[in-house]
Structure 1
Amino acid sequence: MPLDQIHEQLHLRHPKRSFVQYRLDKPGFITPIGHHLSTAMRYTCLIRSISCAGAMLSINKTLTLPENFYLEIHGIRDEIPCTEFKRDGDELAVRFNMFLDTDFLNHVLGRETETHGA
């Protein structure tokens, strides 16, 4: 799986970081970054799995995307800057331009985070 390839490369540089891949199967949106950082178009996708470093997406195989774009997970307003890593038909492996925070990843996965000092 291409997401494992991303993790192998990053684990060498960040050996203490966890690169656990979680099954998500949630709808999302891809917003290409155009000329002068414009974001006029928006495309739907299915986010198959996610980790702190990247995600596997299902997209329309005829869709042409730039190398860099934003990923938005349905129901979460934050956009995640991404770079295409590998594409095979309707499967697209993306690398996040920065690691996702553990709390944000738990929020995406629908997990409750512990509150300290309550």
Structure 2
Amino acid sequence: MPLDSMHEQLHLRHPKRSFVQYRIDKPGFITPIGHHLSTAMRYTCLIRSISSAGAVLSINKALELPENFYLEIHGIRDEIPCTEFKRDGEELVVRFNMFLDTDFLDLVLGRHTEKHDA
């Protein structure tokens, strides 16, 4: 899988963290850093898979991006700061600048955890 080499490197530094990769195929948006208030600099992408550490995106292969940018998942208003890890044509592997919280990852995956009061 495309995120495996990145996960191997991160697992050495964070051996207790899970780096399970989930296929989601959801639309998203890329906003270059420095332009996050401008809608003119917002590009569409398809988020193929995601983990707590990064994601695989499908983008227009002619699109030139800076090394750092924000990723927004359609339907979720939070922006995730990212750094390009590897790019091959239309496939872009990104590393998140901080690990995704488990609850946020569950929200992205459509898992609804119900909390019950005792």
The aligned residue for residue 84 of structure 2 is 84
What code does the residue aligned with 1:17 have? R
Structure 2 portions without partners, runs of 5+: none
What code does the residue aligned with 1:61 have? K
The aligned residue for residue 28 of structure 1 is 28
Following the alignment from structure 1 to structure 2, what is the Cα–Cα distance between the partners of residues 68 and 46? 18
Cα deviation, 1:44-80, whole Å, max 9, x if unaligned, reads: 0000000000000000000000000000000000000
Q: Percent identity?
A: 84
Structure 1 portions without partners, runs of 5+: none
Number of corresponding residues: 115
The two structures, once aligned, show a CA RMSD in angstroms of 1.1
What code does the residue aligned with 2:35 have? S
Matched, 1:38 2:32: no
The aligned residue for residue 107 of structure 2 is 107
Matched, 1:53 2:53: yes
Following the alignment from structure 2 to structure 1, what is the Cα–Cα distance between the partners of residues 90 and 25? 15
Contact 1:26–1:47 (CA<8 Å) still a contact in 2? yes
The aligned residue for residue 11 of structure 2 is 11
Contact 1:2–1:86 (CA<8 Å) still a contact in 2? no
TM-score normalised to the size of structure 1? 0.93
Following the alignment from structure 1 to structure 2, what is the Cα–Cα distance between the partners of residues 25 and 38? 25
